[in-house]
Amino acid sequence: MELPQPSALTSYIEASKPTGIHAQESHHHALAAQVLHNLQYQHDWSQLQIHTQSPESGKTLPKPLVSGLPPQRIYVHPDEQIEMLKLNVQEKDVASEREWVLPTHLRETWSLRRFAEIFDAIDQVPPALDQAAGGEHNIHRGRIGSRRGGKRVLLATVGDDSTVVYYIVHDGIVKPRQN
How many angstroms separate the CA atoms of 116 and 120, rounded? 6
Cβ 170 vs Cβ 145: under 8 Å: no
Cβ 119 vs Cβ 151: under 8 Å: yes
pLDDT tens-place values along the chain, 179 residues long = 787 887 777 676 667 666 555 555 678 889 999 999 999 999 999 999 999 998 878 889 999 999 999 998 888 777 777 777 788 777 777 778 899 999 999 999 999 999 999 999 998 888 877 543 333 333 333 444 456 667 899 999 999 999 999 999 999 887 776 66
